Amino acid sequence: QSGETLHALTEYNDVNIAFACFLGRCGLCKVQVLVGGENLKTLTDIEELFFKGSSEAADERLACQCTPRGFVSVVSQYRYLD
| pLDDT tens digit sequence for 9-48 | 888 887 778 888 888 888 889 999 999 999 999 999 999 9
Contact 47, 61 (CB under 8 A): yes
- pTM for the full model? 0.83
* Closest C-alpha among 71, 21, 68, 15 to residue 46: 21
| pLDDT tens digit sequence for 53-82 | 776 667 899 999 999 999 999 988 765 554
DSSP, collapsed to helix, strand or coil, labels residue 7 as helix
